[in-house]
Amino acid sequence: MSDFLKKQIFKSDSNNIQSNASIRLKTNACVVIGSDNEQKLLFIDEVKCLKSDAKIADLLSFLKSEYSFLNSSASISTKIIYPNCYYTLVPKMYFDENHLKSYFLHAINKKDRNEFDYSFSELSYEMMCVNANEKSYLNDLKNSLSNAKLFSETESMIKVCTDDFLSRIEDDKTYLYLYFSDSKCDILLFVEGKLLIANRISFNSIENFIYHILNTLQQSGQFAEQTEVILLGEIDKQSTIVLGLSRYFQRIHFLSNQRNNELEETSYNYALETFLL
């Protein structure tokens, strides 16, 4: 019996040829998305690990056995979006690429720091995103899927949110982006046209989550009734989280990609279309 369960979430009736693939890795699971050269969805599959201690190398091996395009140099562009262990945002004027480890002194134990790979990229608003990920994890990705392009989940999420914010910016509004993944929530708060707060929280109850969100606004001097909330990631439109937020916020939206209307017509509730970069 396999240690993995593959489930088809969506399949198009189109006969178009697949030319792109996006694989979004999660904790003990992943989502595989296939699209044509116009970014129209062809299929969405979810693969779950049946063992909680499954290794990333085993998951990648299973994927290569299920998807032939991962074993060849065919003309299918493959992108892998992987979760970050740690990340932080640093203003460009204060950034020093020679001291990447120093940005995680509060998060990673001294004895473990050499087990991590540190990278960075430049974002909008003169910000640098610094990432820390386990070397063994990244090595497995690079060795197993050498032809794929790797993107960190955090950088992809921030880019998607920033691009959306710039398309709707109004100086008198506060925009709160909430990205849900693996029982965590990344928070991006834009105030007066600028990114004011970027934070990640874990929560174990709706009450605890709402408290964190309202406290974030209060500490930044913002008000719920003047804040526009945009949700993305693993969040169901009928979830109790949305119901809890609606008690305090008048404007709540789900971030969607209008190029992929087919996805909105399925029962797939994750808004993963935002990661077809």
The domain limits of the chain are 4-82, 86-147, 156-275
In this prediction, residue 61 carries a pLDDT of 92
CATH 3.30.420 fits 4-82, yes or no: yes
pLDDT tens profile 231-255: 998 888 888 999 999 999 999 998 8
Q: For 205-232, give one letter per residue: b (16+ CB within 10 A) or e.
A: eeeebbeebeebbeeeebebeebbbbbb
> What pLDDT shows up at residue 271?
39
Predicted confidence at residue 108, as pLDDT, reads: 93
CA distance 26 to 30: 5
Rounded Cα distance, 251 and 221, in Å: 18
Distance between CA 130 and CA 119 in Å, rounded? 6
Measured CA to CA, the distance from residue 267 to residue 238 in angstroms comes to 12
DSSP state of 40: -
**pLDDT for residue 27:** 82
Do 4-82 and 156-275 share a fold? yes
> What CATH homologous superfamily does 156-275 map to?
Protein of unknown function DUF3822, C-terminal domain (3.30.420.260)
Q: For residue 256, what pLDDT is reported?
A: 67
Q: At what angle do helices 56-66 and 135-144 cross, to 10 degrees?
A: 20
**SS3 of 221, please?**
coil
Per-residue pLDDT at 171: 58
> Which pLDDT value is given to residue 166?
84
Query: Do 141 and 78 meet the contact criterion of CB atoms below 8 Å apart?
Result: no
What pLDDT was estimated at residue 146? Answer: 84
**Average pLDDT of adjacent 10-residue blocks, the chain of 277 residues:** 88 87 89 88 92 88 91 80 90 93 92 93 85 93 88 87 82 86 89 89 90 94 93 87 94 67 38 37
pLDDT in tens, 208-233: 999 999 999 999 999 999 999 999 98
Nearest to 58 by CA among 7, 4, 12: 4
